[in-house]
Amino acid sequence: MDTQPTLPLEDRAYERSLALAAAGEHQPALDLLREHLLDHPRDARALALAGEMLLALGRAEEAASHLEQAAGLGLVQPSVQLGLAQAHLQAGRPQRCLELLRACRAQADSPNTSRAASAQDRFSQDQEYQLLMDLADHYAAIAEVPRARRCYLRAAQLEPSAAQPLVRLGTLALQEQALDQAQQAFEQACRLRGSRCEAYAGLAMVYQHRCQFGLAFDMYLRCLEADQDNLVALLGLFQTSCQMGSFAKVIYYLEVYLDRHPGDTAVLFCLATLYAREGLLSKARQALLDVLALEPDKNEAAALLSAVEQSLPAAPQTQPTARA
């Protein structure tokens, strides 16, 4: 009878670690790998996998050390290099991350690179794309706008069907008041997969900056049709409604939102304001009482409540109580 070949002990330990890692059991996989590495400290595969586990656990410095050792032992496949780049980024070394990304891309573009590992190349391209997005977000957060823009552009070239890089490019342009660039980026993103809701909201902001409130209103509505909990779109719709003097639709969306988030006093106060403007004074009064029950020191709510109650002389003066 045929029997399956028996793996060496070190291979069995590595395979068990792989299975644990695939199941999301990062710490148990790491513990098993560490035991294995005590006896086999030059096992590049185990060092690389331990680096991936450490990275998943948020231990960037240790991850970088393990991945550097794996690379030093000759394991230079793209996933290892990109993992090392991610570790350096998480450890606060974006320039080293960028250097590794460039080296990895140069290796992938080399005519000497084997075409046999197409599945690995595809995985690495996905990993490179996400790393570029993370790197760009890092630069954007510290106001390194030119570097952020270059990374977003490279990510857009790598994944031309993804909307997220274009949304981020539009956001950068909007922050710099480059409205034509922002509009172009958001319009392109609207035609692509993913992040379409963010693209609609970004385009609405462009129109709002240009005082094209009707167009902004329509874009905010599109965003809310896709995501009724989108607070940016909800408050944008409120602002444009105030500019246009048309409140029926925004009242509906505010009410829908508050059904799911009854404790959001900022949105509740906006709704109370609109009720008051529309002459729905009883509803405005109740909404303001709900706001003050949650935030007794909210002076603008108290002032508006006083004005509303003066318009309702027959209404009883009650203390703020929480909405049931």
Tell whether 239 is covered by a domain: no
Tell whether 286 is covered by a domain: yes
Q: Which of 66-75, 120-129, 249-258 has the lowest mean pLDDT?
A: 120-129
Tell whether 319 is covered by a domain: yes
Q: Is the dihedral of CA 138, 75, 49, 130 positive or negative?
A: positive
Residue 12 pLDDT exceeds 60: yes
Tell whether 257 is covered by a domain: no
Task: List all residues 6 or more positions away from 248 whose beta carbon is below 8 Å from its beta carbon.
Answer: none
With CA atoms as reference, report the closest residue to 298 among 324, 279, 261, 273. 273
DSSP calls for 259-300 = HH-TT-HHHHHHHHHHHHHTT-HHHHHHHHHHHHHH-TT-HH
Nearest-angstrom CA–CA distance, 263 and 257: 11
- Say whether pTM exceeds 0.75: no
Nearest-angstrom CA–CA distance, 64 and 172: 31
Tell whether 39 is covered by a domain: no
> 289 is in which domain, residue-wise?
262-324
Using an 8 Å Cβ cutoff, are 50 and 33 in contact?
yes
Task: Give the pLDDT score at 7.
Answer: 37
Tell whether 278 is covered by a domain: yes
Residue 78 pLDDT exceeds 70: yes
Buried b (16+ CB within 10 A) or exposed e, 95-115: ebbbebbeebbeeeeeeeeee
Q: Which of 65-79, 155-169, 262-276, 283-297 has the lowest mean pLDDT?
A: 65-79
Tell whether 311 is covered by a domain: yes
Task: Give the pLDDT score at 295.
Answer: 93
- Which residue would you say has higher pLDDT here, 105 or 242? 242
With CA atoms as reference, report the closest residue to 190 among 204, 180, 179, 178. 204
Burial of 247 (0-12, 13-18, 19+ CB in 10 A): buried
* Tokens at 164, concatenated: 């997220």
Nearest-angstrom CA–CA distance, 179 and 171: 10
What is the arithmetic mean of pLDDT over 240-245? 85
Q: Which of 106-115, 274-283, 299-308 has the lowest mean pLDDT?
A: 106-115
Residue-averaged pLDDT of the chain: 85
Residue-wise pLDDT tens digits, 130-140: 899 999 999 99
Q: How confident is the model at residue 6 (pLDDT cuts 50, 70, 90)?
A: very low
Using an 8 Å Cβ cutoff, are 259 and 292 in contact?
no
- Which residue would you say has higher pLDDT here, 45 or 208? 208
Task: Give the pLDDT score at 122.
Answer: 47
Q: Is the dihedral of CA 258, 263, 264, 268 positive or negative?
A: positive
Residue with tokens 């329509």: 218
Nearest-angstrom CA–CA distance, 321 and 62: 53
Using an 8 Å Cβ cutoff, are 264 and 296 in contact?
no
Residue with tokens 């318009």: 311
Residue 4 pLDDT exceeds 70: no
Residue-wise pLDDT tens digits, 93-109: 888 888 888 887 776 66
Tell whether 243 is covered by a domain: no
Task: Give the pLDDT score at 21.
Answer: 86
